[in-house]
């Protein structure tokens, strides 16, 4: 005979929350958007100021050693990063309000906002660093980018440990999205791994060439992704 006893499994945690009638953005959140807007305005001001002062062909790509290996249109050099950041700002505003778990995002919004500002500073530093060689400033851009990535990843590692379940921020595997407990454990481990990776790169930058460091960085990122995917699956199987 079939039992009428409810089946207690992880699927009970997969129910989506009811849609909230309260708006995601209030006046305080809209006022906070002024900092990303200031960064965007700063990029636009730089772009329109330097565009007529550049030759038609300018450096647009550097290799891992920090040497220029490709030239292209000044339009790409001047406007590509601001356009990418503009799209980032738009989607970073729209997506949280559309997320099924937007109430979760509300609970860690200060960390989410810190991440937005962090990415804004990263884009601005990257933008200025790629334009400065056109005005006679000689430096290894590989180190600038690498240092920016180290700071970015360390901060993201800290932020990840405070991110709650949602569909567009964090380590999103089928198994982390299925359960809050699996999400939390995976992000605690993933956050520490991000910070550890940053410290490894910081030590390495003192002794190793940027080319070697970029290879180490890409290799460790791939290993982290594979590990966290299987780790979340392991937690899922253990829970069920």
pLDDT at 71: 81
* Alpha helices, DSSP H, located in 99-172: 102-107, 109-131, 141-160
Average pLDDT of the chain to the nearest whole number? 85
134-186, pLDDT tens digit by residue? 887 777 787 888 888 899 999 999 999 999 999 988 899 999 998 899 999 99
Q: Distance between CA atoms of 150 and 171, rounded to whole angstroms? A: 19
Question: Above 90 in pLDDT, residue 1?
Answer: no
2-24, pLDDT tens digit by residue? 445 544 444 444 555 655 566 78
Give the pTM: 0.80
Question: Using alpha carbons only, what angle is made at residue 205 by residues 204 and 211, rounded to the nearest 5 degrees?
Answer: 95
191-211, pLDDT tens digit by residue? 999 999 999 988 888 888 878
Determine whether 29 is exposed, middle or buried from the number of CB atoms within 10 Å of its CB (0-12, 13-18, 19+): middle
Other Cβ atoms within 10 Å of 230 Cβ, number: 12
Is the distance from CB of 88 to CB of 126 less than 8 angstroms?
no
């Amino acid at each position: 005979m079939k039992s009428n006893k409810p089946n207690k499994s992880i699927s009970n945690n997969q129910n989506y929350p009811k849609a909230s009638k309260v708006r995601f953005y209030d006046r305080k959140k809209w006022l906070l958007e002024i900092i990303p807007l200031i960064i965007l305005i700063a990029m636009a001001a730089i772009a329109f100021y330097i565009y007529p002062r550049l030759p038609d062909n300018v450096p647009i790509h550097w290799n891992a050693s920090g040497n220029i290996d490709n030239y292209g249109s000044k339009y790409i050099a001047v406007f590509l990063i601001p356009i990418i950041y503009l799209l980032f700002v738009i989607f970073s505003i729209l997506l949280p309000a559309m997320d099924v778990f937007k109430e979760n995002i509300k609970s860690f919004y200060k960390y989410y906002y810190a991440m937005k500002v962090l990415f804004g500073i990263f884009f601005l530093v990257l933008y200025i660093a790629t334009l400065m060689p056109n005005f006679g400033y000689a430096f290894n851009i590989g180190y600038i980018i690498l240092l920016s990535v180290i700071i970015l990843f360390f901060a993201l590692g800290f932020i990840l440990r405070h991110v709650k379940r949602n569909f567009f921020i964090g380590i999103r595997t089928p198994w982390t999205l299925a359960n809050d407990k699996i999400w939390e454990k995976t992000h605690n481990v993933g956050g520490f791994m991000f910070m550890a990776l940053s410290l490894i790169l910081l030590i390495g930058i003192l002794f190793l060439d940027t080319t070697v460091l970029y290879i180490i960085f890409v290799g460790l990122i791939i290993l982290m992704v594979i590990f966290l995917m299987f780790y979340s699956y392991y937690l899922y199987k253990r829970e069920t």
